[in-house]
Amino acid sequence: MAQAPGRHEAERRELLPGVTRRAALLVVGVLLLQLGFVLSYVGAFHAPTPRDVPLAVVVPSGAPEGTADSIADRLEGLSGDPLDVRVVDSEDDARRLLADREVAGVLVVGAGTSDTLLVAGGAGGAVSSALTEVLTRVDAAQQRTLTTDDVVPAAEGDARGLSAFYLAVGWVVGGYLVASIIGVSAGSRPITRVRGLVRLGSLAVYAVVSGIGGALITGPVLGVFDGHLLELSAFGALLVFAVGAFTMALQVWTGLIGIGLAILLFVILGNPSAGGAYPAPLLPPFWAAIGPWLPPGAGTDAVRGIVYFGGAGAGRACLVLAGYAVVGVVLTVLGSGRGSAAPEPELELEPAQ
């Protein structure tokens, strides 16, 4: 009996019975993403160590000349370089630096044998704990005592300041998932630029609803954050749209591979470097360097800035996300209608009959 015309062609594309070359390549890609996930997360979190944590030092008025510099030099010389120390003239100035997120802590040296460490738990409890641990050891060696005062604490319902991270990650996940679903269901590349613009418009509507939803859940619904509903909604919409537009552009130019690239960028690299469980001063240099430039890190930093620091740091994060949004929109529009409009072949596990 004669075989179906397409059967010989399907069999030629098989590496094993029922497994095409394309399927095998996709499986290899998934394996690489899986191993990359393990490498990135374990590499970032297996040994959190303070590195150049910005610290302001204030000495009592009337202290002998050179006292502040001497203390700063001693702290800068600690093994492993855990601190990046600056001397500040007054406690008020140091508190302003802490509120503006220019330092992670303030060491107020007492006139007697007691010192006070001012921290901002809203920026992430892990850094506050690390500073307390390091300076407690230093004071103990000098036969001094240290008291820690959290002057910008996380909200009662925001354990260790992690809710900002989870909110940002939720928005990021929504952004790349909705773009991926649109690409899988309607084809990675729109057949005309008008259709590409329609996709971007639909993504914008989704982003607005998603931003409002996340702000409502963390605000009135769960009571994690008090107020800031409008600011969080607007920022959430920007974050979702930026991630979605960039993912859409990746799919327009690389097809199904674009989904894997989005996962690599936003999940494998973005989440462990975002400063959630361990903010940047506790991460290895690579993850600390890339975190602020990826949407999960920019999102986490901005939410904390909006909720706890009067918006400090949110502006830079918005510029980063605006860059992703602009690149995503431009590349999506330019790539729409480019070349063949034929849909991508489906993943074949069985030979065609």
How high is the pLDDT of residue 339? 67
- Mean pLDDT (10-residue bins), the chain, 353 residues: 52 64 82 92 92 95 86 93 95 96 95 93 92 95 94 90 95 96 90 94 97 97 94 98 98 93 96 93 95 97 96 96 98 85 43 42
How high is the pLDDT of residue 18? 63
How high is the pLDDT of residue 109? 94
How high is the pLDDT of residue 344? 46
Specify whether 196 is located in the same domain as 282.
Answer: yes
Over the Cα atoms of the chain, what is R_g?
26
How high is the pLDDT of residue 11? 52
How high is the pLDDT of residue 343? 46
Specify whether 64 is located in the same domain as 98.
Answer: yes
How many Cβ atoms from other residues are within 10 Å of residue 87's Cβ? 14
How high is the pLDDT of residue 346? 42
**211, 171 Cβ separation under 8 angstroms:** yes
With respect to residue 20, please indicate whether it lies within any of the assigned structural domains. no
Which residue among 112, 128, 150 closes a domain?
Answer: 150
Specify whether 168 is located in the same domain as 114.
Answer: no
Specify whether 65 is located in the same domain as 146.
Answer: yes
- Domain span at residue 102 reads 53-150
With respect to residue 139, please indicate whether it lies within any of the assigned structural domains. yes
pTM over 0.95: no
Specify whether 286 is located in the same domain as 268.
Answer: yes
Lookup: tokens for 275? 């400063």
Structural domain count, the chain: 2
Specify whether 288 is located in the same domain as 146.
Answer: no
How many Cβ atoms from other residues are within 10 Å of residue 219's Cβ? 18
Which residue among 116, 150, 184 closes a domain?
Answer: 150
How high is the pLDDT of residue 24? 80
How high is the pLDDT of residue 256? 87
With respect to residue 29, please indicate whether it lies within any of the assigned structural domains. no
Specify whether 76 is located in the same domain as 166.
Answer: no
Within 8 A by CB and 6+ apart from 109, the residues are 57, 58, 59, 60, 63, 67, 71, 115
DSSP per-residue codes, 132-164: HHHHHHHHHHTT-EEEEEESSPPPTTSGGG-HH
